[in-house]
Amino acid sequence: MTTTLIRGGTVVTATGRSQADVLVDGETIVAVLAPGSVVLGTDLSRAVHTVIDATGKYVIPGGIDAHTHMELPFGGTAASDTFETGTRAAAWGGTTTIIDFAVQTYGQRVMDGLATWHEKASGNCAIDYAFHQIVGDVNEDSLQALESLPDEGITSFKMFMAYPGVFYSDDAQILRAMQVSARTGMMTMMHAENGPAIDVLVGQLLAQGKTDPYYHGVARAWQMEEEATHRAIMLANLTGAPLYVVHVSAKQAVEQLAAARDVGQNVFGETCPQYLYLSLEEQLGAPGFEGAKWVCSTPLRSKAEGHQAHMWQSLRTNDIQMVSTDHCPFCMKGQKDLGLGNFSKIPNGIGSVEHRMDLLYQGVVDGQISLERWVEITSTTPARMFGLYGKKGVIAPGADADIVIYDPNGHTSIGYEKTHHMNMDHSAWEGFEIDGHVDTVLSRGKVVIDDNQYLGAKGDGQFVKRGLSQYLI
Ligand code: DUC
Ligand code: ZN
Ligand code: ZN
Ligand code: ZN
């Protein structure tokens, strides 16, 4: 077992920052020490094999991206990142754990869907990974299967109020699954958009010849998100299920979540980098079919209507608790272009797993959030929300040595020809400049990124079983 000393840095956690050295033994953090406590050449230091100099840099717990879709079958194609390429890209960007969505498709058994996901991921990941379960077909058999998921280390499942005919669950199905959630303590996760109503609007827009990518966002209006969010909250209220609404983008949806939290309901929300930085107006202004790279659901919202600013505000007020990517990459050629002449055929999704830590750090530089809040919303809260805390999400003795050394004096230019390790033919983040840089990444004690080199290997990452959420009242 190698022993590593990270010295000279500023350790930043969700609750504060201090000058400290971090001692790692094998895969685990064993001590957080006053600077210089380990004097090289003394007995204690004889055991130290590697010294990493973090002077002038932040030492933070590795990022946890609680919403990714490697290899997701969608829109007649599949998300272009495999577990191998997607987790490697995540490591490049300072994310050391992903929680991906295992998929039960319509007509499939939940446990068969889960087994398929284990096959896809096992032996292929660069970093640790866990699963949520998508329930695409709520029936007697699925409801029974849900009861046994916590034993498999899966303590959350997701349903879709959108995508009729694909993943969609109606209110009756949602109610029944939420009853299981209430009984077991498992988190219900919800894609909250009124799919049947959206499909009517999609048909009407197409009939009027409005086929460009921009109309995706017009059809998926904020009212569709607010209404579904409210309905999900009411069903959760009735059943007592804890509820986590994914990819929140509309300020009206945040207000629904905030009102429920104000009265003590176990309701949570995540937003994604695209809703903090990108807008429907920019999509409208993109030439030709270019706007297809930003087609995702929920859609980009109007900046003029104030959604973006409200998302940042919600991160400050904790009306939104954390940021995940909804990483769901598709190439323009051969995938997004399925929707040339019909926006509804563009596979939904943006690839961001590599850039989440940097994009949110820019929020610190821009004065949107504090340094500690950055760590909280990208690592600590995801760990607490989804039963990983203690091992993940913190720099403390006993935690896995998932550590990022972040250089606030470094710089990252994001772009397809620059920083890009995701398996897609473009970047949705082209031209973004970050006033910071991921210098070194340790995944369970192993240095996997250092000085712009990848030093890990596929299979380094292990499946992590999760406990119940530690965020519930
Ligand atoms: N939203 C996306 O953008 N992609 C995959 C599924 C989803 O809900
Ligand atoms: Zn979704
Ligand atoms: Zn998703
Ligand atoms: Zn550097």
Which residues neighbour ligand 3 (ion) by CB within 5 Å? 326
What's the pLDDT at 335? 98
Within 283-359, strands assigned E span: 322-323
Side chain identity, residue 94: G
Side chain identity, residue 229: T
What's the pLDDT at 38? 79
| DSSP states of 382-441 | HHHHTT-BTTBS--STTSB--EEEEETT--EEBSTTSB--SSSSS-TTTT-EES-EEEEE
Residue 77 pLDDT exceeds 90: yes
Give residue-wise pLDDT tens across range 211-233: 999 999 999 999 999 999 999 99
Taking residues 301-318, report their average pLDDT: 98
Query: Residue 447: CB partners within 8 Å, gap ≥ 6?
Result: 4, 50, 52, 440, 441, 455
| DSSP states of 117-150 | HHHHHTTT-SSEEEEEEEESS-SHHHHHHHHHGG
Residue with tokens 């048909």, as numbered in its chain: 203
What's the pLDDT at 2? 83
- CA-nearest of 193, 197, 195, 302 to 256 is 193
**Is cis: bond before 380, omega within 30 of 0?**
no
- CA-nearest of 451, 351, 462 to 402 is 462
Reported ipTM:
0.91
Report H helices in 138-221: 140-148, 171-184, 195-207, 214-219
Among the bound ligands, the one closest to the CA of 228: 2
Residue 49 pLDDT exceeds 90: no
Which residues neighbour ligand 2 (ion) by CB within 5 Å? 191
Give residue-wise pLDDT tens across range 400-442: 999 999 999 999 999 999 989 999 999 999 999 999 999 999 9
Mutate to test the pocket of ligand 1, among 68, 132, 296 (most ligand atoms within 8 A of CB): 296
What's the CA gap between 113 and 422, in Å, rounded?
25
What's the pLDDT at 44? 60
What's the pLDDT at 337? 98
Taking residues 235-259, report their average pLDDT: 98
Residue 275 pLDDT exceeds 90: yes
What's the pLDDT at 41? 65
Domains defined along the chain, listed by start: 3-60+394-454 (2.30.40.10), 62-386 (3.20.20.140)
What's the pLDDT at 45? 62
- CA-nearest of 392, 370, 395, 372 to 382 is 392
> What ligand 1 atom has the least distance to the C-alpha of 160?
8
- CA-nearest of 469, 395, 320 to 6 is 395
Among the bound ligands, the one closest to the CA of 348: 1
How far does residue 55's CA lie from ligand 3's centre (Å)?
Answer: 38
147 or 2: which leads in pLDDT = 147
Which residues neighbour ligand 4 (ion) by CB within 5 Å? 407, 439
Residue 272 pLDDT exceeds 80: yes
The mean pLDDT value of the chain amounts to 97
CB under 6 Å to ligand 1: residues? 69, 74, 191, 296-297, 326, 328, 348-349
